[in-house]
Amino acid sequence: MRVVVQRVQHGKVIVEESTVAEIRHGVVILVGIGPEDGEPQAKYLAEKIANLRIFADDQGKTNLSLLDVGGEAIVVSQFTLYADTRKGRRPSFINAAPPELAEPLVKRFAEMLRYQGVQTQTGKFGANMMVEIHNDGPVTIIMERDL
């Protein structure tokens, strides 16, 4: 399971000209699912992200977590995180999980973030989404979890 966590001042997901998710202060999480991924990877990453200290305290040091600042999250499925670009010019996505495995795990990951206490919204799986990310900092963290 691969995730890209971006600290944002504002995030929004639009599908077919309708807003399906919008937050102010928090993180936008792009999630890629591999074929061997399951609940253990999702649980680990949800807990890690909820407690990741990437927000500034009163002294301007990154000592506060998403939970500490009351931030929100948007989870966006992103199979392209498993792109293989080693050969040719067209990326291969054979290392990404098929939709029937990926969709329920992305939903479960969002549920696990909520369980951690993070207000969490999602994009629309499989849709062509316009994702607005007003990256704060910019702070972008790439995480991967294989068990």
Q: What is the rounded CA–CA span in Å between residue 13 and residue 43?
A: 24
Catalytic residue annotation: 78-80
End-to-end CA distance of the chain: 9
The verdict on whether omega for the bond into residue 138 sits within 30 degrees of 0, i.e. cis, is yes
Query: 43-65 burial, b for 16+ CB within 10 Å, e for fewer?
Result: bebbeebbebebbbeeeeeeebb
Q: What is the rounded CA–CA span in Å between residue 124 and residue 17?
A: 13
